[in-house]
Structure 1
Amino acid sequence: MNASSHHHRVRLNRQRNSNPILQIDRIDKTANRWKNADVLVFNTGHWWTHGKTARGKNYYKEGETLYPQFDSTEAYRRALKTWARWIDKNMDPARSVVFYRGYSTAHFRGGDWDSGGSCNGETEPTFKGAIIDSYPLKMRIVEEAIGRMRFPVRLLNVTKLTNFRRDGHPSVYGKAGDKKVSKRKQDCSHWCLPGVPDAWNELIYASLVLEPNPIAWTNR
């Protein structure tokens, strides 16, 4: 079962248009469905670098306070604490296995691939460049949060694994087969399928095989 811990609300502005709000101190309202799951996989990452999320203007809410401006990294840290508290309080390690899957470093900024540029036409992984040794601050925050938890969350750290794969992005190609969707717009935050995400699933499978939770699955 894949799960997202973000709790979104939609508010209407004066023009009656919807403005989303992220409540960093509340867990998603569907969370009760998670409690009886054998395996839960949580993840978040690039979502926190997108437009309104990164700018943080009138977007983050904590309690009854809607912050006019709030740092996205600090919001991420507090949201993870909210998630961690919920897991510790509600999940039983004798019954369930919980993964937190990390994410790959965003690289599209214009220029050479490893400094953030295009990745169309790439047919092989890269083994050198700035991105290979980069490690996002948000991944360090994840490690710290999990390290303080009672529940033994399994961190699926795919960051460096995915940094090699400049050849695995949709790039300028989309759903239209070999037809280029755009000559300029590069999609370097998603992955082609089959491809990199399949390796993530294989790692989850390997973890379950090598470190099974027999108490959870033999007492059914």
Structure 2
Amino acid sequence: MKIVMGFSGGKDSTLALYKIQNNPDYEVDSLLVTLTEGTGRVSIHGVRHELLKQQSESLGIRLREVWIPQECSNDKYQEIMRKTFSELKADGVTHIAFGDIHLQDIREYRENLVEGTGLTAIFPLWNHSVDDISNQFIQLGFESVITCIDLEALNKCFLGRIYDRELLKDYPKNHDICGEKGEFHSLVFDGPNFKFPLSFEKGAEKVTPDYFTGKDRFLFIDLIPIERTDHKQ
């Protein structure tokens, strides 16, 4: 079965991809990623397109890029995605995977979006314990950096930190350690399915407002790609 991974470059979609790669029933076709026009960055996560291309190269899986306008309406987003899913089906893709864990409304939204396209949506991490997922992610050797935080959920000290056991100890107990409700977003820069680690340096921080209230809410750190001269063998 030919499958596309709905991919953000973050930890949950990367772990879901890893599980699919270790399932002999699936052939991974590509990574489907949404980027925002005019910014050259992964939508919501704010990661530069160049780092996403590094991920694709290291993972050895091609990108399928979907570009959406800034301040994209839900109707426009659905129109773009349904067209994309039709193209996937025409290319022989049978399944699309997502890294969602437990938010039922998000799962239903994705399933409704895929419905009628001829594709089947699967969720490799669904209903797994967030504690188990976070520990498994680290135990497998994945390395990830926090690229964005919701200031209403987390202290700014978490921005730019590595997602490791020290972070798990410091993380507020009343929030989801996997960030399912948007507490944070991340970029995976190395792991067991990477041929080489991504190379980058931390740049400036930037605050953006909440779309509905206009209040400053989301804090990003710019990750600046560095051209690599050495790869893991």
Larger Rg: 1
**Higher share of residues assigned strand:** 2
TM-score normalised by L of structure 1:
0.28
**Higher share of residues assigned helix:** 1
TM-score normalised by L of structure 2:
0.27
Larger relative contact order (C-alpha < 8 A, sep ≥ 6)? 2
